[in-house]
Amino acid sequence: MEGAVPMDILSLAGGGCCSLIWLGVCIWAIMNIVGSSATPGSKTLWILLILLLPVVGVILWLLLGPKQG
- The pTM (predicted TM-score) of the whole model is 0.73
- pLDDT confidence band for 65 (50 / 70 / 90): confident
C-alpha triplet 55, 59, 62: angle, nearest 5°: 145
Q: What is the pLDDT, as a whole number, of residue 2?
A: 61
Taking only the tens place, the pLDDT of each residue in 8-31 is 655 666 677 788 888 999 999 999
What is the identity of the amino acid at 8?
D
The length of the chain in residues reads 69
Cβ distance 43 to 34 under 8 Å?
A: yes
C-alpha triplet 54, 68, 19: angle, nearest 5°: 25
Cβ distance 34 to 45 under 8 Å?
A: no
Q: What is the pLDDT, as a whole number, of residue 47?
A: 94
